[in-house]
């Protein structure tokens, strides 16, 4: 596949996000995919040379003077760039969707979320950034076609804080490199070898918890600390001065070494005898898996994903407790050789579960899955089928031939349907009608406002599929298949004239213009329909009456398909003219209808459009998700 991969932000190549971006691109390339990398301008040469020299096109962008501008560009400008170049790519991969997302996604997109640490670590970022991460980014991230979490812990947070549906999030564990110095040797048990305690992380306070680690290390007896210096590897980041000050205050300050950012990370790993990971919160913990794969005994926090990743391999502790960290260090350093050897063996075995190749294959599968035509676009929790008119007609005729025990229920959703069914403060709705629409076998987008909303939500419907356009095609197909049609409601003369005009007079199995009272059973109407045994029942009572009648009588009917068609036969017969094609395509057919019948329609259309616009705004702001209340803002 031809994949565009966003490696923004890259953090100057000095964070776990940059490691993830490099390794995912490397694995995708090794799997044979054609990869183009989207990166900040100042990353270009580093990517080509210092970070692996991958032979992939790098679409260099100017460096942004601030993260706010970078976020805004990625959110609002990048989607238009992708749309302009969409024929060049089969899919889009966002490497850090907990930092950068798009307002909409023109091509199949996977978005990887590493952690939601901002919900767990108070003061991790500035107030503006915390607001963006908590209230803006989640809304747009969930529009991506497929969401990826790098651990079950991150997935649980996405369900809890972002209110994602569990089935919408796929867990793909990160990996580790499978070759390199020290991988086959238990460096933690070499006699006379390096015995330092290593922690690799950018120096960020308080999130990475360096200060408590230093305080715990300071409680070790001098002799034990002298035998095991503390090595802290990583570039200075937010509030790093607090970490350096804590080290300076330590009685073992001479045994604490800061390496800064290390280009040759292997040299740091080679001198490590033990590994400690005290972070307050992690979405995965890349270096923990690296340590296990290298045969280095580990101690780690028991929260976030670290306990999940470590399993029974690492000694775990509460990262908020200096006492527990100190006790874990003493236990780790003094563990008998046999127990340590068993721990190392378990670590190497567990590390085999984490593979960049498997991760990249999972990403590719999700892109392919997203590229396949989706079954439905969820609008107001109503599953609107992603079908063309021809595909919808095929489904309806096939269902008419199949004749299930319960008829195949079809609804053609337009603004009027939404206004009648869906509630959202301060507007009421009809829950019974909404329930029938949500459980219909096929719902099509009968109106350009429905199609436009789907595009704004990133759940693109291919085209408008109206009842007025489908009915003529359905009737002709019924004639070819030898099936009959029955019409309930409408004017008998108009219906017969319409079938005659279509050349399908023989298809008409019956017309019943009886007055339908929703407050009465009227079993004689159902009996007449069943006696005719039609393949399709057209109900021409108008919304909401026709959908309510079908929903209440569906299990009593013995027909293949039941579909509400409103005044379609008046259009087909030519008694009511439809708007010009250009007005239909622009979503302006309602204006034409008001001009035709202003006295009857203007209030209904005015109310419907105002309510629909308001409900759409609620939807765009996050309402009508599964699990939320109708019209909620959360």
pLDDT at position 608 is: 81
CA distance 407 to 192: 79
Q: What is the mean pLDDT of residues 32-40?
A: 88
- Beta-strand pair 508-512/485-488: parallel
- Beta-strand pair 169-171/146-149: parallel
My answer on whether omega of the bond before 426 falls inside 30° of 0, hence cis, is yes
Q: Percent of the chain having pLDDT more than 70?
A: 87
| pLDDT tens per residue across span 594-617 | 666 676 666 767 888 899 999 999
Taking the alpha carbons at both ends of the chain, their separation in whole angstroms is: 36
- Structural domains in the chain, CATH included, are 2-171 (3.40.50.2000), 187-354 (3.40.50.2000), 376-563+605-620 (no CATH)
Q: What is the mean pLDDT of residues 369-373?
A: 80
My answer on whether omega of the bond before 9 falls inside 30° of 0, hence cis, is yes
226: which residues sit within 8 A by CB, 6+ positions away? Answer: 255
pTM (two decimals): 0.66
My answer on whether omega of the bond before 182 falls inside 30° of 0, hence cis, is no
Q: Is the pLDDT of residue 31 over 90?
A: yes
**Helix residue ranges per DSSP H, 355-502:** 356-371, 389-402, 415-421, 431-438, 448-456, 467-481, 492-501
479: which residues sit within 8 A by CB, 6+ positions away? Answer: 503, 504, 506, 507
Q: Both tokens of residue 565?
A: 């068609």
How many CB atoms neighbour CB 408 within 10 A?
22
Q: Is the pLDDT of residue 42 over 60?
A: no
CA distance 505 to 510: 11
My answer on whether omega of the bond before 137 falls inside 30° of 0, hence cis, is no
pLDDT at position 58 is: 67
Degrees to nearest 5, angle at CA 552 with 551 and 554: 65
| pLDDT tens per residue across span 106-126 | 899 999 999 998 888 777 778
């Amino acid at each position: 596949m031809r994949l565009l991969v966003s490696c923004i932000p890259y953090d100057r190549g000095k964070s776990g996000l940059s490691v993830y971006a490099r390794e995912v691109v490397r694995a995708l390339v090794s799997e044979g995919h054609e990869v183009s990398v989207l990166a900040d301008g100042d990353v270009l040469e580093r990517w080509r040379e210092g970070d692996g020299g991958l032979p992939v096109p790098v679409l260099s962008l100017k460096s942004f003077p601030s993260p706010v501008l970078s976020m805004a560009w990625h959110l609002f400008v990048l989607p238009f760039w992708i749309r302009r170049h969409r024929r060049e790519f089969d899919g889009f991969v966002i490497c850090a969707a907990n930092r950068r997302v798009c307002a909409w996604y023109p091509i199949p997109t996977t978005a990887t979320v590493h952690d939601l640490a901002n919900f767990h670590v108070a003061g991790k970022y500035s107030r503006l950034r915390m607001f963006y991460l908590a209230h803006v980014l989640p809304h747009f991230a969930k529009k991506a076609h497929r969401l990826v979490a790098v651990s079950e812990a991150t997935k649980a947070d996405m369900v809890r804080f972002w209110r994602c549906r569990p089935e919408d999030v796929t867990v793909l564990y990160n990996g580790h490199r499978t070759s390199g110095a020290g991988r086959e040797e238990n460096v933690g048990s070499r006699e006379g070898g390096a015995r330092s305690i290593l922690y690799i992380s950018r120096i960020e306070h308080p999130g990475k918890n360096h200060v408590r680690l230093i305080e715990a290390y300071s409680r070790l007896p001098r002799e034990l600390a002298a035998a095991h210096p503390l090595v802290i590897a990583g570039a200075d980041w937010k509030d790093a001065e607090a970490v350096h000050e804590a080290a300076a205050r330590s009685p073992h300050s001479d045994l604490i070494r800061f390496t800064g950012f290390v280009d040759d990370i292997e040299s740091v790993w080679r001198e490590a005898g033990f590994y400690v990971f005290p972070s307050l919160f992690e979405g995965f913990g890349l270096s923990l898996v690296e340590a296990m794969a290298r045969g280095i005994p580990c101690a780690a926090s028991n929260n976030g994903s670290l306990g999940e990743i470590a399993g029974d391999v690492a000694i775990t502790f509460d990262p908020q407790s200096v006492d527990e960290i100190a006790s874990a260090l003493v236990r780790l350093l003094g563990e008998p050789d046999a127990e340590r050897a068993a721990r190392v063996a378990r670590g190497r075995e567990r590390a085999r579960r984490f593979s960049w190749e498997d991760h990249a294959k999972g990403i590719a599968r999700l892109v392919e899955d997203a590229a396949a035509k989706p079954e439905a676009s969820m609008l107001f929790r109503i599953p609107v089928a992603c079908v063309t008119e021809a595909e919808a007609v095929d489904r309806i005729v096939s269902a008419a031939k199949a004749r299930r025990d319960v008829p195949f229920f079809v609804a053609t959703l337009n603004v009027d349907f939404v206004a009648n069914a869906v509630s959202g403060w301060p507007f009421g709705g009809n829950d019974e009608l909404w329930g029938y629409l949500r459980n219909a076998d096929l719902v099509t987008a009968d109106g350009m406002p429905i199609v436009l909303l789907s595009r704004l939500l990133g759940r693109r419907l291919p085209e408008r599929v109206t009842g007025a356009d489908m009915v003529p095609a359905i009737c002709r197909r019924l004639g070819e298949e030898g099936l009959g049609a029955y019409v309930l409601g409408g004017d008998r003369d108009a219906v017969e004239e319409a079938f005659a005009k279509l050349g399908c007079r023989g298809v008409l199995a019956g017309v019943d213009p009886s007055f339908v009272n929703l407050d009465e059973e009227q079993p004689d109407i159902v009996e007449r329909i069943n006696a005719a045994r039609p393949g399709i029942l057209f109900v021409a009572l108008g919304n909401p009456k026709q959908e309510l009648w079908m929903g209440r009588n569906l299990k009593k009917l013995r027909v293949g398909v039941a579909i509400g068609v409103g005044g379609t036969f008046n259009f087909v017969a030519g008694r009511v003219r439809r708007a010009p094609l250009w007005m239909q395509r622009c979503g302006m057919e309602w204006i034409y209808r008001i001009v035709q019948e202003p006295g009857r329609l203007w209030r209904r259309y005015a109310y419907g459009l105002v309510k629909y616009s308001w409900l759409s705004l609620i939807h765009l702001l996050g309402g009508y998700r599964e699990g939320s209340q109708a019209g909620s803002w959360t």
